[in-house]
Amino acid sequence: MKILAILYHGHKAAEEEPRLLGTVENKLGLEDWLKSQGHELIVSASKEGPDSDFQKHIVDAEILITTPFHPGYLTRSIMEKAKNLKLCVTAGVGSDHIDLNAAVDHGIQVLEVSGSNVVSVAEHVVMSILLLVRNFVPAHEMIERGDWQVSDIARDAYDLEGKVVGTIGAGRIGYRVLQRLVPFNTKELLYYDYAPLPASAAEAVKARRVEDLKDFVSQCDVITVNCPLHEGTRGLVNAELLKHCKKGAWIVNTARGAICDKDAIAAALKSGQISGYSGDVWNVQPAPKDHVWRTMKNPLGAGNGMVPHYSGTTLDAQARYAAGVRSILENYLSGKPQDSANIIVGLGKYETKAYGQR
């Protein structure tokens, strides 16, 4: 059986650190095991355009392994060429780089390693909220420059205590963010999600659901985005919605870049409508060198906490999602049922409600 994995190059770091499992070099730790079973494993980072390894090998692969950190975009037209493809496995969480509707139509199953990196991301969200609210990045940059002017930083630094924080999406990550924010004594924790939290879970974090998105953002000092990318969330945070935000709100998006409109965010930050934007996900990955989110700033020259896509790929997370990929493959190869929590698209239908209301 031919298995194709599209991963990112780890270069020297991956040679020095074998726990960087999600790299081309370390192959999710699958190589010896799959070879010993007589399977062919092709691993490459080359994913763009008709001459890429991705498009060359997808035509006869039975299993495709991809990762959100270096997404191999499996479009409907590429899927149509993939005559043997039966299973897509996402090493991580978030399978929006695969055209899920097309997978339904083609009877291709899509599984991800649900829960594998949700704590990793939730921790990054809390860090990102704090670094924006406390104006951390320009403070550190000032120190590296050799300067020392406390007032330039303190003029836009606040406490998280007493602020209203809301999450768009209160699933595994969104809920863990709410849990981690409880000890900060925020004024209120809010959430916006078409799936209400169980009453006991909402009560445990004292989170209040707001059903209208404009109403929701108008109440938040901090908005954190934690829903999957799908037809209903692409461009959800756009110029129109940003007008309804509290002036000077902070936004953290570690979900998917395309949930926020690139240019609308940059414009809102530039004008001061929002004070800060932080996250690790981009509308195109790797982000081009001139991507406006790399350098955008608020009127005080601050408010940018962007990093490359790594919140869900800590070494701890990589161990979990590599083990999860192996277990999905073991089930598939031995004909055992998959863990239902991991199935995004089953045979001919969605098995999750998280990728949009249908």
Q: Are 65 and 91 in contact (CB under 8 A)?
A: yes
Span interacting with ligand NAD, options 50-58, 90-98, 102-110, 323-331, rule CB under 6 A: 90-98
Contact residue for ligand NAD among 107, 140, 185, 194 (CB under 6 A):
194
Contact residue for ligand NAD among 71, 228, 276, 324 (CB under 6 A):
228
Q: Which is nearer to ligand NAD, 166 or 276 (CB)?
A: 166
> Cβ–Cβ contacts within 10 Å for residue 137, how many?
18
Q: Which is nearer to ligand NAD, 138 or 191 (CB)?
A: 191
Give the shortest CB-83-to-ligand NAD separation in angstroms: 29
10 sits near ligand NAD (criterion: CB under 6 A) = no
Beta strands, E only, 221-320: 222-225, 249-253, 274-279, 304-306
Calculate ∠ Cα 287-293-294, nearest 5°. 70
Active site annotation includes 256: yes
Annotated ligand binding at 120? The verdict is: no
Annotated ligand binding at 229? The verdict is: yes
Q: Are 177 and 126 in contact (CB under 8 A)?
A: yes
Contact residue for ligand NAD among 312, 318, 322, 328 (CB under 6 A):
312
305 sits near ligand NAD (criterion: CB under 6 A) = no
Residue 198: cis peptide before it, omega within 30 degrees of 0: no
Q: Which of 176, 256, 273, 318 is catalytic?
A: 256
DSSP character string of 15-77: HH-TT-TTBTTTGGG-HHHHHHTT-EEEEE---SSTTSHHHHHTTT-SEEEE-TTS---B-HH
Q: Which of 113, 46, 88, 62 is nearest to 321 (CA)?
A: 113
Q: Which of 70, 124, 309, 320 is catalytic?
A: 309
Give the shortest CB-290-to-ligand NAD separation in angstroms: 22
Residues found near ligand NAD in the complex (CB under 6 A)? 92-94, 117-118, 121, 168-174, 192-195, 226-229, 232-233, 254-256, 280-281, 309, 311-312, 354
